[in-house]
Each structure stands twice: as C-alpha cells, then as structure tokens.
A and B are shown apart, each in its own frame.
Chain A
Amino acid sequence: MKALTKHRLFWPATALITLLVVNTVANPNFAKVTVQDGQLYGNPINILRESAPLMLVALGMTIVIATRGIDLSVGAVMAVSGAVALTIIDRADDSNRVTVVAIAIVVAVLVALVLGVWNGFLVSVLGIQPIIATLVLMLAGRGAALLITDGFITTVNSDPLSYIASGYLLILPFAFFVWVAAVVIVGLVERRTALGMLTEAVGINPEASRLAGVRSRGIVWSAYVLSGTLAGIAGVIYASNIKAADANAAGYLIELYAILAVVLGGTSLMGGKFSIAGTVIGVLTVQALDSAILFLGVPPAQSPVFFAAVVILVVLLQSPRVHRWGRSLGSSVRRTPQEAPPEVDDDRDADRAENVQKEAVR
C-alpha cells in the first residue's frame, strides 16, 4: 500500500479518478455510454475524442519541459498547420479526394516540423532562453496563419478531412487512435532507446551531461522538432473538427493547458524526469474538468476561472513553502524520520538551489 502511494503517478491518477467519480455521482449522464450502429457514444467517449489536440501538444511539451525548456508557440503552430492544410484542400479541384487531403496533411505537418526546427535552432544553437525563443513564433505565427488564409476563416467540406476528428474506426473515434498511436510511438522511442534517459540527463544537469559527452544540442533540438510536429498534427485535427481554419481561435491558450496537463501529470517544470503516462492522465484530467464545467451549466467562456484555480492549487501543492507547512503539520502529529540527510560539505546549497530556480525562470 505504501509503495502504491509513493508511486509518482498515484496522486495524478487519484485526482483524475476522484474527478470522474464525483461528476458521475452528481450527474449520471456524465459517465453514460450508448451504443449506436456498433459505435460508442456518450460523454466519456467525447472526452477521449476531444482530448486529441491537447494530448498531442502536451506530449511534445512533456519532452520539451524535460530538457528544461518550454514551447509557447504550439498554439500558433496549430494555427499555421490548420491554415496550410485547409488552404490546400480549399484550392484543390475536388476536396473530397483522399489523396488531396493526404497531401494537404503531409504538407501541413511538414511546415509545422520546420517551425519546430526553427524553435530548436534558436534554443539549442543560438542559446536563447526557450520561453523567449518560442515567444517569437507565438507572436508571428498567428499573423502568418492569417496571411495564409487571407485573413478569413477558411471553411471546407471534405469528408476525408472530417473523418479525422469525427469519424469512427471500429467502435471508437478515429482521433482517439491517433493520440494513442502518438503516445505509444513517442513512449517507445523515448524509453526503448536511450533518448529518454539522455533527455533527462540534459534536463537535470546540462553541464555534467556535456562533460560526459552527451550531444545535448541534438537532443534539445529534437525535442522542439517533436513538439512542432505534434502541434502540426493537432492543428489538422482541430481544423477537421470545426471544418475550418480559424487562425485566431485554433490552439488559443493551448500552450497553457498543455503545460497544466504536464504539471498535473507529475513532470516538474524544472526539467529532468518526465512521465508520459503522467501526461496522459494530466490531459484526461484537464479534458474531464472542462467537460465537468460544461455539465455544471457554466458557459465555456468562463471556464478559465476554474482552470486558474486549478493552476494555483497545483503550483501551491508543489511549492517548497507549502511542503514545509505540511511537514511541520505532519511532524507535530507523528515524528517521521527524516529522509536522506544532505551532505555536510555544502552549506551553499540553498543559494545554489535559488540560482537553479532563477535559471529555470529565465
């Protein structure tokens, strides 16, 4: 039992399950699943389907955060990718042809990949702080997306395109399979090769990793490329869902929701150790919360208030000061043995931790 509560996914999973249970008790419709023509429908299925864009973005964000970075440009990249895909389909003679849609998607994702390359270049080659480097594209990206769509919201009617977000494969939505595939592929690449460990090493201690011979430039760069590419796919799914390329609304605030999901999943914003399973739980939590707010009858536009509360709650739970309060509260109840004592030879540790903190902020 103790081993269970110590597991790093214990609290994220508990939060998600609690959220689901409370909502189901409050409103049984929340968990209602129906079968229609051999396909599953209902709110839980919707959550799985609608998670797709956030899941893809958060997946890339997890790896970027593990390198001590952040990618603020994902929303803008989604907008660009959606704009590219729909503009190609819109200009084609027959927007219902599968090949047209396939080409459009490939081109859109390639463009997103190039944007990821660009971000990675600024961070890993020029050494610009990630938050600043990705700010450039965050600012300019939507402008570019608007230019691609000539400032309009491009709408298309294309069955193959609609299928991506709304279609079913066997009994479940196709979009669900897209994100599951992405999670599995990224998980395999990170954990079956040494990439995951090297990424964590670079994120925890870049200088030690450099001296150990780790080629951190490539590792950091690849994280941004991955993030850009996944955001590109997310952009296509988003556009498919609304059957339009809306450069202003596509991926609006998604970078913030993605960061929230990653943190909810137990990956520290300070970089280093990351958990893909945690991110999956985090995204489902965000999506379930969104859905719960809707069930409460709150207008979607007001939901940011709830998320603000969640963000504040989560960062408070992670803050050292609250931990100290918790410890002093706990130790007054029962004397727990202290964990591994710090080394004596380092009374400068406190300052150093502060520097690390500052570093990360920048």
Chain B
Amino acid sequence: MLADTDVPPVVEMRGITIRFPGVLALDHVDFFLRPGEVHSLMGENGAGKSTLIKALTGVYQIDSGTIAVDGQARRFETTADAQRAGISTVYQEVNLCSNLSVGENVMLGHEPRGRFGIDWNGVHREAERHLTSLGLELDTRSMLSSHSIAIQQLVAIARAMVLDCSVLILDEPTSSLDRGEVEQLFSVIRDLRDKGVAILFVSHFLEQVYEISDRITVLRNGQLVGEHLIDDLPRDALVTEMIGRELGDLAALSKNADREIDRTGTPVLRASGVSRRGVLQASDIDVYDGEVVGIAGLLGSGRTELVRMLYGADRADAGTIEVDGREARMHAPRHAIGHKIAFSSENRREEGVVADLTVAENMILGLQAQRGWLKPVPKAERDAIVAEYMDALGVRPADPTLPVGNLSGGNQQKVLLARWLATAPELLILDEPTRGIDVGAKADIQRKVAELSEQGLSVIFISSELEEVLRIAQRVVVMRDRGQIGTLDSSDVDIDALIDYIANSEEGSVTR
C-alpha cells in the first residue's frame, strides 16, 4: 500500500528550528507524515534526525516553527503532551522498565482501576489483548527482563497501541535484532500501517529502509534535503543526498589496498574459532606484518564484538588467539597491550577520550598506564610526544592544554590515535575511526593509517563505509549475523560485489 500524497498529513512540521549553544541543530525543516504510510527519515550522524524526533515527541522545545497534529497546532512541553496527541515512540534502547512485568510495561500509567485501585487482572487482560493484536503470545506476568530485546521492542509497540496512537515513531528499532526478529517487527509495522497508523521509521540499514518504506525524507546538517516516494529514489541517489557528495570523493587518496603483502611468515595475530554464546559465532581472522585487514559488515554483524574479544575487552568462551605464533591469553585489555596490541573503540565519548583531562594527558594515558603510576612519563618526553602527534595528525586547535572534551569528534579521534601510536604498537585495531567526523579529518586519518601500515604496522580496520574499507584494507573479513562468513581479497571485489556478498549469501532474507 502506497500512501497518496493527497491524503492530508496527520503531522505537519513547518519551519522547525532548534538551536543548541553554538550549533544550529535544525534549520527551518519541514516534515509531513501521512496516515497509513511508513515514512523513513534518513541522514548521517548529526543530520538532525534524532533532534527532529525529539522535537515531535516533546523532549526538546522548538525555537521557531509550528507543529500541527490532525490539523491542530500543538506545543509539546513533555513527552506526555505528545502522547496525549497520539504520538508514541519506540526507541533503539528499549525505554521500558525491565524490573516490571510485561503486562505492566504495556499498561503503565493507563491501568484499569477498580474500587480498590489498580485492577491487576484487568491490567493483564488488556495487555494480553494488545499483544495478541500484534501477533504476540506472551506470559504478561513474566518480567520484561526475561525476554529478548526484540520482544521488548514489540512490547513497546504494544504500549504505543494502548495509547491509541495515530503516529508511531520507530527510532532505530532494528539495530540489535536478528533477521527473524526484523521480519516479525516488519510484519507488525505493515499491519499497523494498513490500519491507518502513520509510521516514522529510522534505520541505518538501507536494505530495511527500502523494504519497509513508502516515502523517504532526507536531512543533512540540520537542513531538509528532500522528500521522495521510495520508487522515485534509487539507492545511489539516496546515499548522495545523505552524504552530499558523490561516492568516492576520497578516492583520490592512494589506494592502499593494492599494496602486496608478504604472507609467508607467522602472522602478527591469528585468531581461530573465537566465539561467545549469544554474542559471536566462531570467527577467524589473521593479520600479517604491514597488512591492513578490514572488517565489513553491518552494525550488529559481530564486528565490534570480535575485535573486543581480540583485545580482551570482553572475554571469549572459546577459540584461540595467537600472537607471533604463540598462544596468548586475552582476559583484560592490558594483556593485549602487553602483546603490543592497541584498540580504539567505536564509542569515542564513552570508551575513548577522558573528557576532562587535557589533550596532552589523553595522549600519554596509554603509555603511562603501561609504565605504571610509579614512573611518570618525564616532562621532556611527554612534550616531545605531544608535539610530534599534534603536528603529524594535525590536531586542531593546536593547544595541548585544552580539555579534550572541548575538541570536535574528528580531533578527538586523532588524539586517540596518538594515544595508541605513542605506545608503539605492532597491531592497531580501529573500530569505526572515521564515524561522524568531517571529511578533512577523515582523509587525515585514512592517510595516516595507510602510511603507518606501509612502515610495517599491522591494522584491523572496521568501518560502515564499505568503500573506505575496500580502499584501505588488503583483505576484508566479511561478517553477518554475529559471525564471520568469509574473507575476501580486496583486489578481487568491488563495492557492489561486497554488498552482494554481505546481503545475499542466504535466501529469503530481509536484506533485499
């Protein structure tokens, strides 16, 4: 069912502007949502998707613009206001209370009440009715925490139904679901759409967007780029609108992938059968001197889980890890560091920088941790290291005494790179080092990785941008559904072949 543009929109947002200190998060954005359609909101990190959603759900206050629901102008001060207007949201991290029962989570705040307060039988009866209408059979008296994330997400949708919503917002609901669970979610979404609910869908997975959406709105840097019917917008056009430049803009960089690697000796690191129940299926990876091995796969494919186990940040249940041919025990990050392995997390703010410490302190933190607290890095050495990397990586502003939290994402990433390079590692694991940073910083980091690997450093490089992986890495480990599905030579594949490999080595899947 394809929604007709003539149907009057249930949500009309016009000229929405939201300003954060020093930043224009949304700049006169118009957005329309019609009943009976699935409408995807697309954009890179920082495009303003979340901000727009939060404006619509009353989490943020708009600075200017109008919001109308069912033709009536509204002003939402709290989430409850938005809910009363029929707008419900299901977030990526399930925002329910895991300490309460399924039934209570569905009905909380709307419990049927008898003469003596809440009528518990009524609560569970009602909850069950709503869950059944979504095709779910659950014990409503069981604790929410005893169910998988996927089920919890469906419970959240059932809750939205209780509120009798005419608008359902799904903010990255699929990022932690497996294929079967996504199917289940999609069948629920289609069902609701057919009942006339307007659905706003946000996902990073293009395949899913194309499978479920009727219409797409694209945002970039807080501005509206365009609204399209799904059939009018081919994928490459969508990607172009999202990132605002042709793919391969950075291709002018030397193609590191073509460099020959000598794989006759012992690999720097070889992992075989590394796995952990419910997190990662048995996966293999090996890296040789001076080689860059990319890991390609969607968010949630197990790529982060794999490298965290290689680094000892999480423990594996099974499998062996060999460093320079000798089996190594990786139970804590410092074991890996002892083997000259460094790891930069995808989660820059929470697992990377120490925000209140200065740039200089952040740069020497790894080295200092290695030496122990009794042997502080001497001032002269410290100044030399800091000066070297400030310059080599082009950290801006070039003031090492600033708290690192004041720097932009790209510069924080450079500081983290410096932290690890200062420890002179033999293997550097970079998880999404270029995510959410500007093009200039991205090119700097790619160039540095290529340069270091030429000098003999081994690198494991994870990126959501397949094109970037193919350009930098000589080999690519492909992962899907929490496990490795193969290893390819970069020179044998192009980006379409890689996408095809990731998406299509199994029949009847959600991905196209």
Residue pair B366, A212 in contact (C-beta under 8 Å): yes
What are the interface flags for B312-343 relative to A under an 8 Å C-beta threshold, 1 for contact and 0 otherwise?
A: 01000000000000000000111001000001
Residue pair B373, A219 in contact (C-beta under 8 Å): yes
The closest CB in chain B to the CB of A349 belongs to B349
Q: Which residues of A contact B163 (CB under 8 A)?
A: none
B196 at interface, CB cutoff 8 A: no
Q: Top 6 nearest A-B pairs by Cβ distance?
A: A341-B22, A345-B46, A345-B436, A213-B369, A194-B376, A340-B406
Residue pair A212, B46 in contact (C-beta under 8 Å): no
Q: Which residues of A contact B354 (CB under 8 A)?
A: 200-201, 204-205, 208-209
Q: Which residues of B contact A192 (CB under 8 A)?
A: 376
Checking B350, B369, B371 against A205 with a beta-carbon cut-off of 8 angstroms, the contacting residue is B350
Bound CA–CA A35/B372 (angstroms):
49
Residue pair B408, A343 in contact (C-beta under 8 Å): yes
Number of interface residues of A (CB under 8 A): 34
B357 at interface, CB cutoff 8 A: yes
Bound CA–CA A211/B312 (angstroms):
9
Checking A208, A219, A339, A344 against B23 with a beta-carbon cut-off of 8 angstroms, the contacting residue is A344
B122 at interface, CB cutoff 8 A: no
B356 at interface, CB cutoff 8 A: yes
- Name the interface size band of chain B: 35 or more
The closest CB in chain B to the CB of A270 belongs to B356
Q: Which residues of A contact B23 (CB under 8 A)?
A: 341-342, 344
A120 at interface, CB cutoff 8 A: no
Residue pair A344, B46 in contact (C-beta under 8 Å): yes
Checking A195, A211, A345, A346 against B373 with a beta-carbon cut-off of 8 angstroms, the contacting residue is A195
Q: Which residues of A contact B333 (CB under 8 A)?
A: 210-213
What are the interface flags for B375-394 relative to A under an 8 Å C-beta threshold, 1 for contact and 0 otherwise?
A: 11100000000000000000
The closest CB in chain B to the CB of A272 belongs to B356
B21 at interface, CB cutoff 8 A: yes
Interface centre among B22, B351, B354, B375 (most CB of A within 10 A): B354
Q: Which residues of B contact A211 (CB under 8 A)?
A: 311, 313, 333, 343, 345, 351-352
- In the assembled complex, the CB of B258 is this many whole angstroms from the nearest CB of chain A, namely 32
The closest CB in chain B to the CB of A346 belongs to B349
Q: Which residues of A contact B365 (CB under 8 A)?
A: 197, 201, 209, 212, 214
Q: Which residues of A contact B116 (CB under 8 A)?
A: none
Considering only residues 187-217 of chain A, those with a C-beta below 8 Å from chain B are 192-195, 197-198, 200-201, 204-205, 207-215
The closest CB in chain B to the CB of A348 belongs to B50
A338 at interface, CB cutoff 8 A: yes
Known interface pairs A200-B356, A219-B373; A345-B21 also in contact (CB < 8 Å):
no
Bound CA–CA A197/B369 (angstroms):
10
Residue pair B373, A194 in contact (C-beta under 8 Å): yes
Q: Which residues of B contact A214 (CB under 8 A)?
A: 365, 369
Residue pair A338, B370 in contact (C-beta under 8 Å): no
Q: Which residues of A contact B374 (CB under 8 A)?
A: 193-194
Residue pair A213, B337 in contact (C-beta under 8 Å): yes
Checking A197, A207, A348 against B361 with a beta-carbon cut-off of 8 angstroms, the contacting residue is A197
Bound CA–CA A193/B376 (angstroms):
5
Interface centre among B369, B370, B409 (most CB of A within 10 A): B369
A273 at interface, CB cutoff 8 A: yes
Bound CA–CA A198/B366 (angstroms):
10
Checking B51, B349, B355 against A347 with a beta-carbon cut-off of 8 angstroms, the contacting residue is B51
Q: Which residues of B contact A193 (CB under 8 A)?
A: 373-376
Checking A195, A219, A338, A346 against B22 with a beta-carbon cut-off of 8 angstroms, the contacting residue is A338
Bound CA–CA A210/B365 (angstroms):
11
Bound CA–CA A270/B153 (angstroms):
33
B25 at interface, CB cutoff 8 A: yes
Bound CA–CA A209/B366 (angstroms):
9
Bound CA–CA A198/B371 (angstroms):
12
Known interface pairs A219-B373, A347-B50; A207-B22 also in contact (CB < 8 Å):
no
